[in-house]
Amino acid sequence: MPGTVFRQTDDVFQWEGDGRIKEIRVRVLEIHVRVLEIVVRGNYFVDFLRGFGVFKGFLYFLDFGGPDAPEPVFRVKTEPVTSARGGERIEKNPVNPVKTSEIRLPAAFAMTITDSTPVAYLGPEGSFSHLVARTRFGEARELVPRPSVDEVFDYLEGEPETVAIVPIENSSGGIITATVDRILRDDSPFFILEEIALNVKLALLGRENEAVTKIYSHFAPFHHCEKWLKAHYPRAEQIVAPSTSNAVIFASQEPGAAAIGPRDSAERYGLSVLHYPIAAEVPNITQFFVVAHSPNASAPENARTSLAVVLPDSSGSLFRFLEPFAKSAVNLKRIESRPIAGQPNKYRFFVELDGNHADPKVEQALEMARAVSLRIRNLGSYPASARFES
C-alpha cells in the first residue's frame, strides 16, 4: 500500500502510514485484541509465542498505539522473570512505558465474583440448578433462569461479567453432554470456577385422587427412578423435559400428568406431593459447575483441574496421553470422549484430574502429556468440596 511501511527495530514492530489508512488501523487493532482474547482464554499463549520464535521463558505483554498516534505500534515487551536455571534472573528488553492502552497476560483475565455478579442457571425457578444457585450465592443475588443448558451458555457468552451454574453429571444418569460440548468447543471462552455436589432427593408431584397417565421429568431422574416407575407406574407414559422445573410446569398444566422433581416445587406450581422420596436407597448425586469467562485468580488447594484434549488419530495415542499421569501419581476423575463437529470419526476428550495446575506433579504430568497431544486446553483449576442437600 503506498505510503505504508512495516518495519522492525529490536522487539518493536511499527506500522507507519498517513491518515488515509486510519480506518484500517482501527480494524487491525480490533483484530489484534480479539486474537489475544482467543489465545489467552484458550490457553494457547505459549504455543502462540513459540510459533513466532520469541518464547524464551519470559512473560510477554502487548501494547498497541492508538489509531490517532503518529506511529501506531504493535510492541512485544518482556518482563524479567526467574528462569529454571538455579534461580538465575534473565533480563531482556525491559518493559517500555505504555503510550495508550495495555493488555497484560494472563492476570488481567482472572475472575473475581462480587456480591453484584449475576448468576445464570438452568431454570425455570424451582429447578435443582436454582436450588444450588440460591444456596451457593444467596437469595439476594440476581439469579437469571434460562430454559436450557445451551441457553445458559448463550446468555453467559453475551454477558462477560456473569457467572453460570450448569449440571455436569448425575450419578445415575451420567454426563450432561450439553454442558461438556459447550465447554469443549474450540471457540469456547469459558473456564470452570467451582464444582458443587448436590444430594438429590426426588418427589413425584401431581394431583390427589387423579390417575397418572403420563410423567414428565429430566432424563437423569428417569434413569434414577427406572425400577421404581416400573413397579408403581408401569403404564404411565414417560416424557423427557429440559429440566425438572419444566417438567413440574408441564404437569401442572395437564390433567392426568405428574412430574418427578424437587419436592419444594409442589407448592410453587400448585401440585401435591404424591411420593417422597423416590428410590432413596440409591445414592443420587448431581454435580454442577460454576462457569465464567475467566479462570480463578489463584490456583486453589485441594482442587481439581479440567482439560480439553485433542489426540493424534493413531494407535496408542490415548495410552501415551494417560501414561504420564500414572507415572506422576496424578489421579484422573473423569475422561469423556465427544465427537468434533464437522470432523466425522474425530474426537476430543474432557478430562478431570485431582490437583491444580500449579502442583509440581500435575505440572510434570501435563508437560509430558502435551508432548504427545495435538492440543491441551486448561479449563481451570477449582475447588470441588462443596456439597449441598436438596
Specify the number of domains making up the chain.
3
Residues 80 and 167 in one domain: no
Supply the CATH number for residue 367's domain.
3.30.70.260
Section 178-202 average pLDDT: 96
CA–CA gap between residue 292 and residue 387 (Å, rounded): 20
Q: Band of the pLDDT at 74, cuts 50, 70, 90?
A: very low
Pick the closest to residue 381 from 350, 338, 352, 348 (CA basis).
352
C-alpha neighbours within 13 Å on the C-beta side of residue 125: 8
Pick the closest to residue 364 from 145, 94, 103, 84 (CA basis).
84
SS3 assignment for the chain:
CCCCEEEEECCEEEEECCHHHHHHHHHHHHHHHHHHHHHHHCCCHHHHHHHHCCCCCCEEEEEECCCCCCCCEEEEEEECEECCCCCCEECCCCCCCCCCEEECCCHHHCECCCCCCCEEEECCCCCHHHHHHHHHHCCCCCEEEECCHHHHHHHHHHCCCCEEEEEEEECCCEECHHHHHHHHCCCCCCEEEEEEEEECCCEEEECCCCCCCEEEECHHHHHHCHHHHHHHCCCCEEEECCCHHHHHHHHHCCCCEEEEECCCHHHHCCCEEEECCCCCCCCCEEEEEEEECCCECCCCCCEEEEEEEECCCCCCHHHHHHHHHHHCCCCEEEEEEEECCCCCCCEEEEEEEECCCCCHHHHHHHHHHHCCCCEEEEEEEEECCEEEEC
Residues 382 and 303 in one domain: yes
Phi-psi region of 328 (alpha: psi -120 to 50; beta: other; left: phi over 0): alpha
Calculate ∠ Cα 172-388-268, nearest 5°.
85
Supply the CATH number for residue 259's domain.
3.40.190.10
257 assigned to some structural domain = yes
pLDDT digits (tens, 9 = 90+) for 357-373: 889 999 999 999 999 99
Q: Band of the pLDDT at 32, cuts 50, 70, 90?
A: low
CA–CA gap between residue 166 and residue 182 (Å, rounded): 11
33 assigned to some structural domain = yes
342 assigned to some structural domain = yes
100 assigned to some structural domain = yes
Residues 289 and 378 in one domain: yes
- The overall average pLDDT reported for the chain is 80
Only one residue has cell 427412578, namely 225
Q: What is the residue range of 265's domain? A: 203-275
| Per-residue confidence (pLDDT) for residue 25, from 0 to 100 | 55
Residues 18 and 69 in one domain: yes
114 assigned to some structural domain = no
CA–CA gap between residue 293 and residue 125 (Å, rounded): 24
Residues 30 and 98 in one domain: yes
Q: Determine the distance from the C-alpha atom of residue 303 to the mean position of all C-alpha atoms in its chain, rounded to a whole number.
A: 15
Residue where one domain finishes, among candidates 275, 300, 335: 275
366 assigned to some structural domain = yes
Residues 103 and 248 in one domain: no
Residues 209 and 330 in one domain: no
| Per-residue confidence (pLDDT) for residue 39, from 0 to 100 | 54
pLDDT digits (tens, 9 = 90+) for 38-56: 555 555 544 444 444 333 3
Residue where one domain finishes, among candidates 55, 85, 108: 108
Section 107-132 average pLDDT: 82
Residue 284 · residue 224 · CB < 8 Å: yes
Residues 124 and 166 in one domain: yes
Residues 186 and 291 in one domain: yes
280 assigned to some structural domain = no
Residues 177 and 305 in one domain: yes
Residue 336 · residue 372 · CB < 8 Å: no
18-32, 38-52, 166-180, 209-223: segment of lowest average pLDDT: 38-52
Residues 186 and 289 in one domain: yes
| Per-residue confidence (pLDDT) for residue 2, from 0 to 100 | 43
Residue 103 · residue 33 · CB < 8 Å: yes
157 assigned to some structural domain = yes
Q: Band of the pLDDT at 93, cuts 50, 70, 90?
A: very low
pLDDT digits (tens, 9 = 90+) for 266-297: 999 999 999 999 999 999 999 999 999 999 98
Residues 131 and 232 in one domain: no
Residue where one domain finishes, among candidates 275, 306, 328: 275
